[in-house]
Amino acid sequence: MEQAAYFVALLTVVTLPGAAAIWLVVHPFIRFWRRAGSAWTYLAAFGASAAVMAGIFMARETLLSVRFGVRTPLVVAAVLLYAAAVVLRVPIDRRIGLRVLLGIPEVSAAAGSRGLVTDGIYARLRHPRYVNVGLATLAMALFSNNLAAYLTVAGYVPVILIVTHFEERELRERFGQAYEEYRARVPRFLPRFGRR
């Protein structure tokens, strides 16, 4: 079980910052990337991601050296959180396709857009994908019980706040008043229960 915990910690510590690198390369500079074109955008974004992941992987022994050991209550909590992430993922996948997941409508104005998604899970949360990733990452950190994994989760919070700021700016530019109205009635990350 300790070896599985190590590999889960490694996966967490390598992949989440790699994904964040993509978000942070693209979202703040979306106007530039639209002019540069999707090929350059993806080359830069995935290049930055690969560089971040490679750097972390090379430093893995040092980064993953503080282990607290596998603990059954944490494993149970991890399984429950990961199950919640999987359950949340299903309605997300029903509402958005691979094109949206890859950011094609944001990067290429000519690629077309299917419009603002405001139904299903998106009627409860504006950013369910980021909640999904956060739940899954927290689950992985709890399972691995590794300091670097916990720090990765802690780092996810400010990064995702920055990314959503820029993403919402893009959505306001693309959808105008429709997005403002949606933004006013639907919370960002935590659903409101009991009212619609």
Report how far residue 151's alpha carbon sits from residue 66's, in angstroms, rounded to the nearest whole number.
Answer: 11
CB 103 within 8 A of CB 170: no
> Residue 116 has what pLDDT?
83
Give the CATH number of domain 2-185: 1.20.120
DSSP assignment of 8-72, as one string? HHHHHHHHHHHHHHHHHHHGGGHHHHHHH-HHHHHHHHHHHHHHHHHHHHHTHHHHT--B----H
Q: What is the pTM of this model?
A: 0.86
**Per-residue confidence (pLDDT) for residue 111, from 0 to 100:** 47
CA distance 177 to 9: 43
The domain limits of the chain are: 2-185
CB 107 within 8 A of CB 43: no
pLDDT at 189 over 70: yes
Q: 157-181: per-residue pLDDT in tens?
A: 999 999 999 989 988 988 899 999 9
Q: Is 140 helix (H, G, I), strand (E, B) or coil?
A: helix
pLDDT confidence bin for 125, thresholds 50/70/90: very high
Mean pLDDT across the stretch 97-106? 72
More confident residue, 111 or 42: 42
Given this model, what pLDDT does residue 195 score?
54
**Average pLDDT of the segment spanning 21-40:** 88
CB pairs under 8 A, 24+ apart, for 61-66?
63/13, 63/148, 64/6, 64/9, 64/10, 64/13, 64/146, 64/148, 66/146, 66/147, 66/148
Task: Say yes or no to pLDDT of 130 above 70.
Answer: yes
- Residue 107: per-residue pLDDT: 76
